[in-house]
Each structure stands twice: as C-alpha cells, then as structure tokens.
C-alpha cells in the first residue's frame, strides 16, 4: 500500500523555477566555451569519439508516511529485495568520474566525458545527504582544471519521455533542470551546458510536437542534441548513410502551419548496450574512420569523423566492473600514441562542434534529417488525395493544420506501420500502449496546472518563485517520469496515480 500523505518531503523542494528571464539571458550567451581551453589541434585529428554517461533514479512516494524519496534511498532501505543490494555500488558510480578524471589527468592523459544526470537523481542525492557524491560532481562542473574535460548535458528534469509529454510541459522540464543545476553548481557552470540528452533517446515525430520541442531547446540556449540513429531519416524517407552517422546533422522540424526550425544533432550509433561504453567500443569504432568531406562540391571541407554514444552509467556488471578497467586502458593507449598521423582522440560534443566551426564548417552544410515517418506525411500532402482535401478546405475554411491532421488520419488507416508515438533507443517497449491510467492523469494535471497558472504567470511572472507554484510544478513534473510507464502495471503505476492525487491537492490550495 502507498501511504497518502500529501506532498510531505524529506528535504526542501528543489529549485525548479523563479529565474526564467535571468537564466534565459545566461544560457543564450554565445561566448566561446571550450575553444579557448581545448588542448587539441584539429589538423592532427583523424577521428574522435564522444561518450556520455546517463544517470537516473526516479522520485517515488514511498518514504516514511508516504514522503517523496529517491528510489536509491528506497534501495538502501530495502536491500534484500531484488537487485537492491547494488545500492551502494550505484551510489559510488554516480560520483566516480570525480575520481577518474583527476586520476587520468595526473597520469598525463587527456580524458573527455559527457554527463547526463536527471533532476530526480540530483535531488535524491541532496535528500540523502550524499555530499560526498555531490562534491565530486561539483568539482567536475566548477573546478577550472576539470570542467574543460567534462561536458554536462541538459535533459528533462524528471526524465520524461518527450513524445508523450504534454507540449506545454516540455519547456517546464527543460527550464526546471537548468534552475536546479544552477542552484547546485552555479550560473557559470550552467552557462557551459549547450548539449541536450533526451531521456530514453526518445524523439517525437509528430510535426507540431517536434517543432515545439526544438523551439523550446533553442529558447533555452541549447545548440545541439543527441539523436538515436534510427529515430531520424532523410527528407525522402531514406535512412542515414553509414558515413553520415559520424558527422553532425541538421535536424529540421516543420509544423502543421508550415513553419520550420532546426538544430544540430549528433548521432548516437547502434543500440543502448552498456557494453559499448563500458568496453570503450566507440574508441575502437572511431579508429576505423578518418576525415570526411562536409558539404558538397569544392567548397566542402574535411572534418574528423565523430562516434557518439551514451549508456547508463551505473547499470549492470559491465558498467560497475569493466568500465573502470577499459577506460584507463584506452586512455593510456591514446596518451602513448598522441599526435600520430592517424590520431584518434576523445572529444566532447560542444568542443567538437566549436573546433570544426572555427575551422570553417557551416551548420547549413550539415546533412539534413527529420524525425522518422514524417516523409509519409509530406508525401501525402503532395498526393492527389491531399489536393482533393485542399479543394474541400477552400469551401470549408479548413486550416493547414487540419489538412495535416487529415493526412495523419489517412495514414493511420492505410499504413499499419505508421505511428507518431515517437522513436527511442529501443522500439520493443511503449510508453503509450496500455498506460491510459497514467497518461490520462498526466494530461488532466497538465491542463489544470496551465489553466490555473498561465494567466497568472503572464500577468505576474514572479509567481513562479512562490511555494504554491513550485509545489504544483514539482508534482506535475514528477508524474511524467518515464519509470511509471516502463515497469508495467502495478506499484509503479500506483506511484503515478498517487502523485496525480497530490498534484491536484496542491493546485487546490
């Protein structure tokens, strides 16, 4: 049974809002970040690899008297259930890059790592009083010796999968993570966060949602995002050429009103097997690639290929045991072979883009892609069926958006493979099918939240700093955590329904 205490916390609520205008100005700054600090010479690099570690633990209403606690704390308190005996090892994994990076630097290596920590986990570490872990992370985010080697990636605060998150809440998640990160590590550290890591590598493919998502990212100062290779396609529907997976791509979104927007995407290759990162496979893959021509014709320039990969940083014996072994082995090899004619190096995403763009690369020359399945919509709109629908629209005052919806309805009827549920690192799981008992409360709480607060925020922006707003926002974001739709029906969906109940109560206060 889940206790039904209303919104009791074991730690003060995280900082999720209240500085929207200030942080927007901060994150939109275009001052060079890694370029003045990098020790790498682009002319000596044939290929590179960029590895990211994803860390997450959900917040659940399972503490004493039903208080909100981190699932990691629950693991410690119930160590004899399932795999909970790994709690101490998980906690160590969350801070160990704070040991590895200094050690590698002391040994003459030039390491790189990208870090993606959910807001839930960062708050959970605070709730648990794990200052030992937070201090290590703070050193990586703030210490002038270490931060040039460690790139933090933004994400959705409560690990919400984007395609099934209500559109008005996308920006709330993105901003909440920025608020929380700045509160923990400072504004200077936040100003360096330019890449975005989508939870579950989930990319929306509904035209309006993808447009809103990219717009929210750009409004919040993000320059690029990681995209799983099979979640995107070329404009004609073809998959990516193998070579193009190792170049930056330009992800373009067109909404149902015909507006377009784009953002740079670094392509995450292959699956989500933690062995790929734990055994440093991206390094060995990168060694098989060299420089490639970017752009067409004689004006194109050559840039190093980049293998990009992300994996859970704590799950499985490979991440716990094999990763420390192979991480050091590979960096020693690179140290001993540095500046050879076939040099393969570690890079972080923003650093790579800064290097190639300083050398003359133009983002407009990046290969263009869109979300999978979208070509079917645009092809339908150009078909005879669409022309007939447009003719009818002239007499029925049908909007362009309604024409796009007509295309979607037609495709859903005629093409069993067509879906706008989005795509992720694996398509054998759905965050939508069979979860009406979570999705409907999610939508209802979102509607209630925006009906109450949107008019107030428009009139008095300072209301986002008030306790009532922040408590309601906290429960709205927590309800959308992917875990409540990952583990199937049962206690996890019960957690979601309890968070919904508490969220409704917060909005009624």
Q: What is the CATH number of the domain that holds 343?
A: 3.20.20.370
pLDDT of residue 390 exceeding 70, the answer is: no
* Domain match, 380 and 327 both: no
Confidence check: pLDDT of 438 > 50: yes
Report if residue 488 sits inside a domain.
no
With a cut of 50, say whether residue 352 has pLDDT above it: yes
Task: Indicate the pLDDT class of residue 83, thresholds 50, 70 and 90.
Answer: confident
User: What is the mean predicted confidence (pLDDT) over 416-433?
Assistant: 70
- The pLDDT assigned to 403 comes to 85
- Better-predicted residue by pLDDT, 408 or 339: 408
Question: Who wins on pLDDT, 5 or 472?
Answer: 472
User: How much is the pLDDT for 272?
Assistant: 61
Alpha-carbon distance 207 to 256, whole Å? 6
Q: Are residues 394 and 336 in the same domain?
A: no
pTM: 0.94
pLDDT at 435: 72
Using a CB cutoff of 8 Å and minimum separation of 24, what contacts does 233-241 make?
233/369, 233/370, 233/371, 233/372, 233/373, 233/374, 233/375, 234/367, 234/368, 234/369, 234/370, 235/368, 235/369, 235/370, 235/375, 235/378, 236/375, 237/375, 237/376, 237/379, 240/267, 240/367, 240/369
Asked if 54 and 179 sit in the same domain, the reply is yes
In a domain, 458, yes or no: no
pLDDT band at 339 (very low <50, low <70, confident <90, very high): low
Alpha helices in 362-425 (DSSP H): 374-381, 384-396, 400-414
Is residue 74 located within the same domain as residue 115? yes
**pLDDT band, very low/low/confident/very high, at 485 (cuts 50, 70, 90):** confident
291 and 353 belong to one structural domain: yes
Q: Range with the lowest mean pLDDT among 62-71, 253-262, 393-402, 462-471?
A: 393-402
Q: Indicate the range of 36-50, 53-67, 262-276 predicted with least confidence.
A: 262-276
Q: Does residue 256 sit in the same domain as residue 405? A: no
Task: Answer yes or no: is 284 within a domain.
Answer: yes
Domain boundary among 371, 389, 404: 371
Tell me if 209 is assigned to some domain.
Answer: yes
277 and 170 inside one domain:
yes
Domain-terminating residue out of 316, 350, 371: 371
CA 135 centroid distance within chain: 23
Q: Are residues 145 and 228 in the same domain?
A: yes
User: Is residue 467 situated within a structural domain?
Assistant: no
Question: What is the per-residue pLDDT for 297?
Answer: 53
Q: Are residues 322 and 405 in the same domain?
A: no
Instruction: Classify residue 448: in a domain, yes or no.
Output: no
State whether 341 and 381 are in the same domain. Answer: no
Looking at the structure of the chain, the number of domains it has is 2
pLDDT of residue 436: 83
Task: Give the structural domain span for 29.
Answer: 20-371
Same domain, 221 and 311: yes
- 160 and 111, same domain (yes or no): yes
């Amino acid at each position: 049974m889940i206790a039904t205490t209303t919104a009791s916390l074991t730690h003060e609520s995280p900082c999720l809002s209240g500085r929207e205008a200030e942080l927007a100005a901060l994150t939109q700054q275009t001052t060079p970040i890694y370029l003045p600090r990098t020790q790498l010479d682009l002319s000596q690099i044939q290929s590179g690899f960029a590895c990211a570690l994803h860390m997450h633990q959900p917040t659940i209403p399972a503490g004493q008297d039903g208080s909100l606690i981190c699932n990691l704390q629950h693991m410690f308190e119930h160590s004899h259930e399932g795999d909970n005996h790994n709690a101490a090892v998980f906690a160590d994994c969350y801070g160990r890059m704070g040991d590895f990076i200094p050690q590698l630097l002391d040994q003459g290596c030039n390491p790189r790592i990208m870090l993606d920590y959910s807001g839930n986990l960062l708050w959970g570490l605070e709730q648990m009083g794990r200052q030992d872990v937070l201090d290590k992370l703070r050193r990586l985010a703030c210490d002038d010796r270490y931060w040039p080697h460690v790139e933090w990636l933004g994400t959705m605060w409560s690990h919400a999968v984007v395609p099934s998150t209500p559109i008005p809440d996308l920006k709330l998640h993105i901003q909440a993570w920025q608020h929380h990160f700045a509160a923990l590590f400072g504004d200077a550290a936040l100003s360096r966060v330019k890449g975005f890591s989508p939870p579950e590598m989930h990319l929306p493919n509904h035209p309006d949602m993808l447009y809103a998502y990219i717009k929210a990212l750009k409004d919040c100062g993000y320059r690029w995002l990681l995209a799983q290779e099979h979640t995107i396609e070329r404009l004609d529907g073809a998959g990516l050429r193998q070579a193009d997976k190792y170049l930056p791509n330009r992800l373009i979104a067109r909404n149902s009103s015909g507006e377009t927007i784009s953002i740079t995407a670094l392509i995450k290759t292959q699956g989500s097997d933690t062995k790929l990162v734990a055994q440093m496979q991206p390094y060995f893959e990168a060694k098989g690639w060299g420089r490639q021509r970017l752009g067409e014709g004689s004006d194109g320039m050559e840039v190093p290929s980049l293998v990009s990969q992300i994996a859970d940083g704590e799950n499985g014996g490979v991440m716990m045991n094999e990763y420390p072994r192979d991480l050091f082995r590979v960096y020693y090899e690179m140290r001993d072979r540095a500046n050879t004619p076939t040099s393969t190096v570690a890079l972080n995403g923003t650093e790579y883009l800064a290097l190639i763009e300083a050398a003359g690369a133009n983002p407009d020359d990046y290969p263009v892609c869109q979300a999978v399945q979208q070509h079917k919509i645009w092809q339908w709109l150009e078909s005879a069926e669409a022309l007939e629908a447009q003719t009818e629209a002239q007499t029925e005052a049908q909007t362009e958006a309604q024409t796009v919806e007509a295309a979607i309805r037609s495709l859903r009827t005629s093409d069993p493979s067509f879906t706008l549920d989005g795509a992720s690192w694996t398509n054998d799981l759905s965050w939508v099918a069979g979860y009406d008992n979570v999705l409907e409360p999610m939508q209802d709480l979102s509607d209630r939240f925006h009906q109450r607060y949107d008019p107030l925020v428009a009139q008095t922006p300072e209301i986002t700093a008030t306790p009532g707003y922040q408590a309601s926002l906290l429960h709205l974001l927590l309800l959308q955590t992917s875990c409540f739709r990952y583990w199937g029906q049962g206690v996890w969906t019960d957690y979601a329904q309890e968070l919904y109940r508490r969220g409704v109560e917060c909005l009624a206060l």
